[in-house]
Chains A and B, each alone.
Chain A
């Protein structure tokens, strides 16, 4: 881990806590200026807080497990040599592991490309990495319900695959032209 990477979380933390302070201040001013809204604001905030705190520790624990057990190296090893339907499914599966934010995925993807993984698999991996994460899906399930979560998940998976194959065609066509 280099210096810049170590600095990032600390900076973000300070920023996030300061932002919270500002929001809290605005909230207090607003509630005191309009005391009749106070009850409603507090009740709504409390309701959402309880809904969140009941799942948050579990979600974080799952995230911790995936981070420790599924490494970037594993993703590269398995995706580098697989192709076809198996490759597509693997790209979605590995992408949905919470192994870090999206900016971690780009170097992985670039490395995979050098190692000869297909463009479609890389696009699918990146897209799955950005929008499908197992712990996130659980928060979605909690707040938006089973129907919403499952249908959005299935639709995104279908369209991500289509997009991956499409981009691969476009790039290949482009390369041939040149």
Chain B
């Protein structure tokens, strides 16, 4: 048990209590949504946990730090950024994966870049974005997000 776990659970319970007093029907609705999302994400959670176990158990630390570590240099960061752009992993399960990589030699910059491109840029949703927002805005937003992700990662590597 750490502080984060306690904080998150107390926060959720407080919201639950407050919501229950305010509107019981909506609270019930919210809990049903929660239950549904829980079961929807469950297979992905199990999957990522197995992958993390295999990754850390089988892949030597040196491999991880060579590809995602400080030594990998700018080419490495670029590679990670592209990886985050094309992969389609829900953020909730990307964080434990990122944490496991971080513990085994990946750099802060690499991890921050990966999570940021992963969440900000969606190749899968790009066609829809172009359709709704127009080609110019969609490309500008995704392109600039890519650059931003790298800048954010580099700054985090310096300050943390």
Interfacial residues, chain A to chain B (CB-CB below 8 A): 9, 12-13, 16-17, 19-20, 23-24, 26-27, 30, 34, 37, 40-42, 44-45, 48-49, 51-52, 54-65, 67-69, 102-103, 106-107, 109-110, 113, 119, 122-123, 126-127, 130-131, 133, 135-136, 138-144, 146-148, 151-152, 155-156, 159-160, 163, 166-167, 170-171, 174
Check A58/B8 contact, CB under 8 A, given A106-B128, A167-B140: yes
Chain A residues near B95: list those with CB within 8 A: 136, 139-140, 142-144
Residue contacts A-B, CB under 8 angstroms, 16 given = A26-B54, A27-B53, A42-B53, A45-B53, A56-B45, A59-B8, A60-B34, A60-B37, A63-B33, A65-B16, A68-B30, A127-B145, A133-B91, A151-B159, A163-B144, A170-B140
In the complex, are the beta carbons of A106 and B38 less than 8 A apart? no
Which of B66-74, B75-83, B130-138 lies on the face that meets chain A?
A: B130-138
Closest to A28 in B: B50
Residues of A within 8 A of B44 (CB): 16, 20
Residues of A within 8 A of B102 (CB): 144
Any A CB within 8 A of the CB of B12: yes
* CA gap between A56 and B53 in the complex, in Å: 19
Main secondary structure of the interface of B (DSSP, over half): helix
Interface positions of B (Cβ within 8 A of A): 1, 4-5, 8-9, 11-13, 15-16, 19, 26, 29-35, 37-38, 40-41, 43-47, 49-54, 56-58, 91-92, 95-96, 98-100, 102, 108, 111-112, 115-116, 119-122, 125, 128-129, 131-133, 136-137, 140-141, 144-145, 148, 151-152, 155-156, 159-160
CB-CB under 8 A from A24, the residues of chain B are: 46, 50
| Across-interface contacts of B125 in A (CB, < 8 A) | 102-103, 106
Q: A167 — which chain B residues lie within 8 A by C-beta? A: 137, 140-141, 144
Shortest beta-carbon distance from A120 to chain B in Å: 11
Which residues of chain B are within 8 angstroms of A44 by Cβ–Cβ distance?
Answer: 52-53, 56-57, 100
Contact assessment for A19 and B43 in the assembled complex, using a CB-CB cutoff below 8 Å:
yes
For A108, the closest partner residue in chain B by CB is B132
- Picked from B5, B56, B122, the residue with its CB within 8 Å of the CB of A102 is B122
The smallest beta-carbon distance between A172 and chain B, in angstroms, is 12
CA distance A163 to B12 in the complex (A): 33
Query: What residue in chain A is nearest B32 (Cβ atoms)?
Result: A64
Contact (Cβ within 8 A) A155 B155: yes
